[in-house]
Chain A
Amino acid sequence: MAAIFQGVGAAPALSSLPSNSFDSKNILFSPRRSFSVRKAPSFVVVRSDGTMNLDLNPKGRRAQQFIANAVATKEDSSAASSSSKPGHELLLFEALREGLEEEMERDPRVCVMGEDVGHYGGSYKVTKGLATKFGDLRVLDTPIAENSFTGMGIGAAMTGLRPVVEGMNMGFLLLAFNQISNNCGMLHYTSGGQFTIPIVIRGPGGVGRQLGAEHSQRLESYFQSVPGIQMVACSTPYNAKGLMKAALRSENPVILFEHVLLYNLKERIPDEDYICNLEEAEMVRPGEHVTILTYSRMRYHVMQAAKTLVNKGYDPEVIDIRSLKPFDLYTIGNSVKKTHRVLIVEECMRTGGIGASLTAAITENFHDYLDAPIICLSSQDVPTPYAGRLEEWTVVQPAQIVTAVEQLCQ
């Protein structure tokens, strides 16, 4: 929270901090020329500090406070404390909706298309109420034709509209792979810069509660090598809203990965307008001994493991990488330089997953700083089984994380 106010009030103070490269730590966002944009107060994109001031990370603190009760999907009701703190409390899907709604109000070019997003309100209620508020032309119920409605979203984006294409489940977007890879990612390049494709493709993915193999897919590994797109994964209501808004304002195609099991997370988020940087990682818990890189749901497994690790005397540094393409190698690199040990915990498959690319990227860039080989914990290379216990063992469990850290820190 403090970081935001720092930006608004005291930009000079921050710029005097030791910085080894990029000058503007706080990037002021100026609203682009678009018709009938509301006069919004200018706000600040907060970059996480690259410096060693571990205690100056309010986002980390807040996330830390929150983490203890966030592994399960039950919301934590602390009604007594809610009235005194600034901001408002909501669930992750509500945060996504709030971000979407604010952007739709702000920019009339934003429209949503997907299956059951309009009258039904969205299969995960992310678009609930938007159809009645904005009308049928801005919140469009499509037939079950992912290939063509994703293509239509891209075609509309070529003319300047800013569509949000929702895949009811990320796995269904495999049907639109051609459109996403060839048209969405490549048109800006093959047209020599004539067209930008400001589309946001979002949807829930990941392993849920016994949903079966086809409905538990993790597409980030398939899309990661498509040139021209950006991929981000949200994990808390705060970054969900921030990333949604940033994605809608970006001129590039952005794929926003949500997770089926995280929609009911509750958090207190600021009232004022804010966005999260699309290319930046989030420092969840600063530490000294080992860097744990994670994203989406695995963040919570890691934090649960972190509790055990702290009791055992370890001090893990947990970073939610958030930006799956491109990687925030700056934040990650600074962390590696400090701890010299890396553990990657992800929900992707081991083969060709995000962790595999991240391992390669870290080894290429920071090999000299590593004291031990990078350990990458990923889901097993199997279709997700239906049986509960088997499904539990396809994904990484906190116990495995603890074991891996102990192994790394020997």
Chain B
Amino acid sequence: MALSRLASSSSRSADLLKPLCSAISLRRPISTDTTPITVETSVPFTSHQCDTPSRSVQTNAKELFTFFRDMALMRRMEIAADSLYKAKLIRGFCHLYDGQEAVAVGMEAAITKKDCIITAYRDHCTFVSRGGTLLEVFAELMGRQAGCSRGKGGSMHFYKKDSNFYGGHGIVGAQVPLGCGLAFAQKYSKDEAVTFALYGDGAANQGQLFEALNISALWDLPAILVCENNHYGMGTAEWRAAKSPAYYKRGDYAPGLKVDGMDAFAVKQACTFAKEHALKNGPIRGKSLSLVEAIKLTSSCSVCCAYMQILEMDTYRYHGHSMSDPGSTYRTRDEITGVRQERDPVERIRKLILSHDLATEKELKDIEKEIRKEVDDAIAQAKENPLPESSELFTNVYAKGLGVESFGADRKEVRAILP
């Protein structure tokens, strides 16, 4: 981190001295350059029952700009949602993800749309990273027709089937068995893809998590359980809820990895490693290998004990648990500002871009302005969008099957119109 600060300051002073050269370099196209750049993750990985992936991550300018743009978009979107909630356009629950964007963005960079992601209720940004549009997000938050769930789900029920994003779940921990079910279906259909089941440090104490862990390990499912540890389960700090806050070790027989969740590249590296591990050692190969053969195959892991893994993302949320939580009764404002200054994911990427001389401050600010406009436009469009029709109350309760419709008592009056 210090190195990059030095580098950026020296490049800035260099800019002053050599205006012509810097002007030329700045006119380099900023989003299509794919020459590899090597970046070091902020801290080394810690592992449990497995080797750690390398700290050096290959990236390029295009990816840096994508990360910056995506994370800035998510940040702006969450802040806009905050204002909308205070303006009473969003009601009920609104759990904001700002501060944790690196997890969503880093994970998406490591996988394809064939891999499944399932998460809990803090799902706005994960939905966007999976391909959701801003209009779908804001319309769903405001309960309008253009929402991703037609306005019937709300903040906690974002889904995108075509990009394998399975939501969006309100009950803490219930999505983890669902995620293992997704992995089971991938194994059943021989998909060669993996499932990332995300949960929080609060959910890590749920029994169904351990049940799902056991079954996934037993049946060799390509499931990767990702604990987004933002250190607070609503108002309860992790040291008050968990006897052992080393969530990556809780798998016991399952390999685990602790990752700095505020560093998008660390997340990307960990997810790539996890996916590779799951597929190489996983159900595709199956149990027909002898242990020796299996060890030879895996270059990055010396012990292949189980095929599913746990990734613990050490991350932080700036907002409270939800909009009704100020977020400062159980932690100090100093702590929040401290993390924001030292570990902010968007700032990290900004510094990387500046230090590698890929853009000026002004250009990045322009990108942010553009993003702000995009978000404002989406909000305006969503506000125009109509509320769902009253008949929507009864749609999608049942799926139409066997050609039967649901009639009322006399079979004369149609009580529910099934789609």
Mark A residues whose CB is within 8 Å of B.
20-22, 27, 29, 45, 50, 111, 137, 140, 142-143, 145, 147-161, 178-179, 182-183, 187-196, 198, 227-228, 230, 246, 249-252, 277-279, 326, 329-330, 333, 361, 365-366
B182 touches A251 (CB 8 A): no
B404 touches A143 (CB 8 A): no
B177 touches A250 (CB 8 A): no
Instruction: Kindly state whether residue B86 has any CB partner on chain A within 8 Å.
Output: no
A sample of 20 cross-chain residue pairs with beta-carbon separation below 8 angstroms, ordered by A number, consists of A22-B411, A145-B215, A151-B180, A153-B181, A155-B118, A155-B179, A156-B182, A158-B178, A161-B184, A183-B169, A183-B178, A188-B396, A190-B154, A190-B168, A227-B397, A249-B401, A251-B400, A330-B407, A361-B409, A366-B409
Map CB proximity to A onto B381-419 as digits: 1 under 8 Å, 0 otherwise: 000000000000001111111111011111110000001
Instruction: Kindly state whether residue B239 has any CB partner on chain A within 8 Å.
Output: no
A151 touches B178 (CB 8 A): yes
Q: Which residue in A147, A194, A252, A277 is a CB contact (below 8 Å) of B211?
A: A147
Instruction: Kindly state whether residue B12 has any CB partner on chain A within 8 Å.
Output: no
B186 surroundings in chain A (CB, below 8 A): 159
Instruction: Kindly state whether residue B250 has any CB partner on chain A within 8 Å.
Output: no
Given contacts A161-B185, A194-B161, 9 further A-B contacts (CB under 8 A): A148-B215, A149-B211, A152-B180, A155-B180, A155-B181, A192-B148, A252-B401, A278-B402, A333-B410
A154 vs B207: C-alpha distance when bound (angstroms) = 18
Given A22-B411, A193-B150, also A178-B171 (CB < 8 A)? yes
B178 touches A155 (CB 8 A): yes
A27 touches B404 (CB 8 A): yes
A277 touches B397 (CB 8 A): no
Number of interface residues of B (CB under 8 A): 60
Q: Which residue in A140, A158, A190 is a CB contact (below 8 Å) of B219?
A: A140
A277 vs B403: C-alpha distance when bound (angstroms) = 11
What's the minimum C-beta distance from B254 to chain A, rounded to whole angstroms? 15
What's the minimum C-beta distance from A172 to chain B, rounded to whole angstroms? 13
What's the minimum C-beta distance from A153 to chain B, rounded to whole angstroms? 6
Instruction: Kindly state whether residue B55 has any CB partner on chain A within 8 Å.
Output: no
A223 vs B218: C-alpha distance when bound (angstroms) = 31
A157 vs B189: C-alpha distance when bound (angstroms) = 12
What's the minimum C-beta distance from A244 to chain B, rounded to whole angstroms? 14
A191 touches B402 (CB 8 A): no
A333 vs B160: C-alpha distance when bound (angstroms) = 42
A154 surroundings in chain B (CB, below 8 A): 177-178, 181
A192 touches B219 (CB 8 A): no
Task: Give B159-208 interface residues, CB cut-off 8 Å to A.
Answer: 159-161, 166-171, 174, 176-182, 184-189, 207-208
Given A143-B211, A158-B181, A182-B174, also A190-B157 (CB < 8 A)? yes
What's the minimum C-beta distance from B127 to chain A, rounded to whole angstroms? 12
The residue in chain A whose Cβ has the minimal distance to the Cβ of B195 is: A155
A193 touches B214 (CB 8 A): no
Q: Which residue in A111, A143, A189 is a CB contact (below 8 Å) of B152?
A: A189
B184 touches A194 (CB 8 A): no
Q: Which 3 A-B pairs have CB atoms at the shortest separation, nearest pair first?
A: A155-B181, A151-B177, A145-B211
A152 touches B171 (CB 8 A): no
B147 touches A192 (CB 8 A): yes
A148 touches B185 (CB 8 A): no
A250 vs B408: C-alpha distance when bound (angstroms) = 20
A189 surroundings in chain B (CB, below 8 A): 152, 396-397
B212 surroundings in chain A (CB, below 8 A): 145, 148, 151-152
Task: Give B135-160 interface residues, CB cut-off 8 Å to A.
Answer: 147-154, 157, 159-160
A279 surroundings in chain B (CB, below 8 A): 404, 406
A228 touches B397 (CB 8 A): yes
B407 surroundings in chain A (CB, below 8 A): 21-22, 330
Q: Which residue in A111, A160, A365 is a CB contact (below 8 Å) of B409?
A: A365
A329 touches B174 (CB 8 A): no
Given A142-B215, A191-B157, A246-B402, also A333-B178 (CB < 8 A)? no
What's the minimum C-beta distance from B207 to chain A, rounded to whole angstroms? 7
Given A20-B412, A251-B401, A278-B402, also A193-B185 (CB < 8 A)? no
A191 touches B181 (CB 8 A): no
B401 touches A21 (CB 8 A): no
Q: Which residue in A29, A152, A230 is a CB contact (below 8 Å) of B184?
A: A152
B159 touches A137 (CB 8 A): no
B178 touches A29 (CB 8 A): no
Q: Choose among B157, B168, B402 the residue with the greatest number of A CB atoms under 10 Å from its CB.
A: B402
B410 surroundings in chain A (CB, below 8 A): 20-21, 330, 333
B182 surroundings in chain A (CB, below 8 A): 155-156, 158-159
Given A252-B398, A330-B411, also A193-B406 (CB < 8 A)? no
B149 touches A155 (CB 8 A): no
A250 surroundings in chain B (CB, below 8 A): 401-402
B178 touches A147 (CB 8 A): no
A179 touches B174 (CB 8 A): yes
Q: Choose among A190, A277, A278, A279 the residue with the greatest number of B CB atoms under 10 Å from its CB.
A: A190
A32 vs B408: C-alpha distance when bound (angstroms) = 27
A190 vs B238: C-alpha distance when bound (angstroms) = 31
A178 touches B174 (CB 8 A): yes
